[in-house]
A and B are shown apart, each in its own frame.
Chain A
Amino acid sequence: MTGPSVSELDTIIGNSWKKPAFIKRTWLRWGLLIGALIYLVLAINSVEVNWHRVWEGLDRGARFVAAFARPDFVTRWTDISAGMLESIIMTIASSVVGIAISIPIGLGAARNISPLPVYLVCRGIVAISRALQEIIVAILLVAIFGFGPLAGFLTLSFATIGFLSKLLAEDIEAMDKVQAEAIRASGARWWQWINYGVQPQVMPRLIGLSMYRLDINFRESAILGLVGAGGIGATLNTAFDRYEYDTAAAILIIIIVIVMGLEYLSGIIRARVQ
């Protein structure tokens, strides 16, 4: 075996060894490190913590944790069940409408199957929907349409479009071209091409993503009530305001259980379609 010359080894022996740094340029490494430290110090100092208030609060926190051990489903059951029903209905309706609208928009936002003007319009819709959080959209829609589940329904549908269309479009752009072209080569019309060449490839993922979005919509529907857009959020807010931790705990437990159930269900469905 021909190793490096002996002298190379001799010069290296006795030298200390350090792990090569992740960022090679020294000034950049130290600059980033010092910058990060300065930021952290400034940030932490600017946070005003009323430790006295926190200390007092620990007692309430303990009571809240204790409330989880004996949640009260009964006292406000009518409020809870009405709010939950509204949340579930908003979730279902908005998921159906959102998915139905995201499919054409997703097709339009895929560069490889749609003409440029359509692509730009669809991408624009996706970008707007993704940049605005649900709660802000809900505030605006409540201002326009009034209080109630309609505003929540519209909010969640709108958010679903941004989420699903983007992922669907990316999926279509990444699909296997050969399969799709084989269908096109057989003289199919555009919609036939979509139906036979594109749909089978993206369908399993679309179903998986739809289930995931259903899950997200339910979680989001739980907060829309805070701004008057319907759902369990209003009930939850009232419970916190009145310090009724046992009722709040009951609501949170129901939310967690439903989310777990949805995740379990979507796991099964995804396993079946793939």
Chain B
Amino acid sequence: MLRLEGLDKTYATGDRALKAVDLEVSKGQVLALIGPSGAGKSTLIRCVNRLVEPTGGKAYLDDVELTTLSSAALRRERRRMGMIFQEYALVERLTVMENVLSGRLGYVGFWRSFLRRFPQSDVDEAYRLLDRVGLLHMADKRADELSGGQRQRVGICRALIQNPALLLVDEPTASLDPKTSREIMRLIVEMCRERGLAAIINIHDVALAQMFVERVVGLELGALVFDGTPDELTPDVLTRIYGEEDWEATIEKVDEDDNEASQ
């Protein structure tokens, strides 16, 4: 459903962040994108919804070619790609409900959204999502009153209310503690299963990635260097992606942690 063909990005500074990346994600597939910081993970997912303009190659969402769309058509396609951010990126001075409903902006006219008159079906869906993530009672709180984990849940609701076909997730757990990180990852993966969504999850925590996803893609200096199942992530592969280090410990830890983590 998402197909990248030779996607390339060179920044104005001359840094080539993506080197002709080819990638295909099928419907409902949850994929973790791992790699050291600076490998181009963020750039890759931002090139898909064109928050960053790619400088070469093509990206197809179903059969729509994204890289050449006009701005109006791009906005229509962005509605089908929900995005979840590293530092939650909630608008902190708006309420939780407004943040969730802002996911519907692509569907609602300016004045309706400006006056906060969203269709009842949107409001109901927002309540359902908030209930699903356990934050219904926080609906009218301001976003900056929430804890990190709660904020990320609101961020997930905002992405889901778009009714997307694909989630682009950028380091969802980077600023969360280990326990909350797992809860958030589990929530994202569960939601994708429930709704049959495909997802690209950028994540630097290899253990966490292995725990939750069915496919792992490794990026190093803007190029794909690994594509396989979590089991195939051997120390050799990790060395290839991240450089020399004792990887046995990381991989073993995963199994232990997984048992502990079951609530």
Contact = CB atoms under 8 A, between A and B. Distances in A.
A-B interaction? yes
Given A1-B187, A2-B134, A13 B95 contact: no
B95 A1 contact: no
Interface string A203-219: 00000000000000000
A17 B131 contact: no
Contacts of B97: 17, 19
Interface string A1-34: 1111000110011111111100000000000000
Interface residues of A, number: 15
B127 A1 contact: no
B116 A19 contact: yes
A19 B113 CA distance: 12
A20 B140 contact: yes
A12 B97 CA distance: 13
Interface residues of B, number: 21
Contacts of B123: 15-17
Given A3-B131, A4-B131, A14-B120, A19 B136 contact: no
Contact of A3 (B120, B126, B132, B139): B132
Contact of B136 (A3, A15, A18, A20): A3
A4 B118 contact: no
B134 A9 contact: no
A158 B56 CA distance: 65
A12 B120 CA distance: 12
Interface string B93-119: 001011000000000000000001010
A17 B118 contact: yes
Contact of A9 (B95, B116, B128, B140): B128
A9 B120 contact: no
- Please name the 7 residue pairs, one residue from A and one from B, whose CB atoms are nearest each other, closest first: A3-B134, A9-B131, A17-B123, A19-B116, A20-B140, A1-B134, A13-B124
Interface of A: 1-4, 8-9, 12-20
Given A1-B133, A19-B97, 16 more contacts: A1-B187, A3-B133, A3-B134, A3-B136, A8-B131, A8-B137, A9-B127, A9-B128, A9-B136, A13-B128, A16-B123, A17-B97, A17-B118, A17-B127, A20-B95, A20-B140
5 contacts: A2-B134, A3-B131, A14-B120, A17-B139, A19-B116
Interface of B: 95, 97-98, 116, 118, 120, 123-124, 126-128, 131-134, 136-137, 139-140, 183, 187
